[in-house]
Amino acid sequence: MTVNAGASRSCGIEAGLTWATLDNRLTLSANYGFTHAVFTDYYAGQQSIEGADGQATTIEVDYSGNRVPFAPAHTLAAAADFTQPLQAPHQQPDSGLNLTGCGDVYWDEQNSMRQPFYALLGAHVGGRLTPWLELDLWARNITHTRYDLFRFDSMGRRFAQRGTPAQAGFDIKFRF
């Protein structure tokens, strides 16, 4: 069931820095975002709950002040990339590390389910081999961090989509 949540307020800030040095062979970058998203007026009405004694009790439900679901409080990305031109024309090996992060993310209006902040580490090595061929070997989520991309309750059951586990691969690019 979808309901109108009333009113919310969302404010935040994003900042990014990039720095290149060593004749642009080393590039460092970092980006950070902060979001504060809360319900300012969300009266959900009355709900009946059953106590341990089997007696129903009516309670007032007000989510005002709770975090808005699916809005991460923090996002983070950082990378370090190094490229070394060789004397052979068009050959440029490169390598790098990257880190991405996200969290806390609440999955419901009650703020009873949340994904804590998590970070994923990645790396790559490769480069241009000829004027028309590039190869890149990469790894993502090297530390095999467990996290949820999405979570919700429905019909008395909890459903979640897990994040991608550690993986590795390669990309081949041909230029024509």
Instruction: Determine the pLDDT at residue 131.
Output: 84
**Which residue would you say has higher pLDDT here, 1 or 52?**
52
- Contact by Cβ (8 Å): 116, 106: no
3-state SS, residue 176: coil
* Separation between Cα atoms, residue 142 and residue 166, nearest integer Å: 5
Using CB atoms within 10 Å of the CB of residue 60, give its burial: 0 to 12 exposed, 13 to 18 middle, 19+ buried. Answer: exposed
Instruction: Determine the pLDDT at residue 88.
Output: 76
Instruction: Determine the pLDDT at residue 3.
Output: 64
* pLDDT value at 2 more than 70: no
* pLDDT value at 165 more than 90: yes
**Which residue would you say has higher pLDDT here, 92 or 34?**
34
Specify the residue for token string 């069931």: 1
Which H, E and C letters describe 45-102, residue by residue?
A: EEEEEECCCCCEEEEEEECCCCECCCCCCEEEEEEEEEECCCCCCCCEEEEEEEEEEE
- Tens of pLDDT along 58-82? 888 899 999 999 999 999 999 999 9
Single out the residue of 32, 41, 26 nearest to residue 13, CA to CA: 32
Instruction: Determine the pLDDT at residue 5.
Output: 67
Among 17-21, 95-99, 143-147, 150-154, which stretch is predicted with the lowest mean pLDDT?
A: 150-154
Instruction: Determine the pLDDT at residue 107.
Output: 95
Single out the residue of 19, 31, 117, 120 nearest to residue 78, CA to CA: 31
Retrieve residue 83's tokens.
């490229």
* pLDDT value at 90 more than 90: no
